[in-house]
Amino acid sequence: MINETIIIAGSAASIGFVHTLLGPDHYLPLVAMAKTNGWSAPKTASYVAVCGVSHLLGTILIGALVFLLGFAFLNLETLQSIRGDFAGWFLLSFGAIYFAWGINWAIRERRMGGKRKNANFARCTPFALFLFFILGPCEPLIPLMSLGSESAEVFSSILVVSAFCGATLLTMLLCVMFFYYGVSRFSIFLKFENYMHAATGLIILICGCAIQFLGY
């Protein structure tokens, strides 16, 4: 039984790693936001932790509620599908608005010779990103929770879910830090500094489209 649990937990960790790595919406918006707002590496890592935990915790809490109330009242997959649609449209819409605002900001910045300070709208973007991660469902976690609900071993269920969550958080952090330091090595990006807000909006918009229309 213990060996079986370890194998399932290892598989869950592998699923978490692959799911996060192949889902750029888990890290690209965070990287773009960090570089645009000039966050330090520790601050960026803290945002990754908060967004990652909220992303996973939202699914776990809803899943626990469904299992407690019973599937007769709620269907977990249906509920997660509704969350996914809302999160996808939210990210898409926010990205489009942020992109348009970023273009306008860059044009005015050039006219004023770079004397403008960071606008209030840009300061709201971390909160919007945090909201997206809360609303966004973590699809692979659903069958793992369903598997755990059918087992009498509570410890085994907790171990499997924890392995998935730990691998997901670690992969998010590694991907964000990889791109965070990778972008810093290319000075060419400094030439387009005025368009960083627009670029961030475009990245968020693309991630929203990928979620909504490509099923990422």
Per-residue model confidence as pLDDT tens digits over 28-44: 888 888 888 888 999 99
Instruction: Please give the model's pTM, rounded to 2 decimal places.
Output: 0.73
More confident residue, 29 or 123: 29
**What digits encode the pLDDT tens for the residues 81-121?**
676 677 778 888 888 888 888 888 777 767 766 555 555 55
Range of the domain at 42: 2-214
**What digits encode the pLDDT tens for the residues 59-71?**
888 777 766 666 5
Spatial distance between the Cα atoms of 192 and 49, rounded to a whole number of angstroms: 29
Which burial class, exposed, middle or buried, applies to 12 when counting CB atoms under 10 A from its CB (0-12, 13-18, 19+)? buried
pLDDT of residue 3: 73
CB-CB neighbours of 214 under 10 Å = 8
pLDDT of residue 73: 47
User: Based on the structure, what is the number of domains in the chain?
Assistant: 1
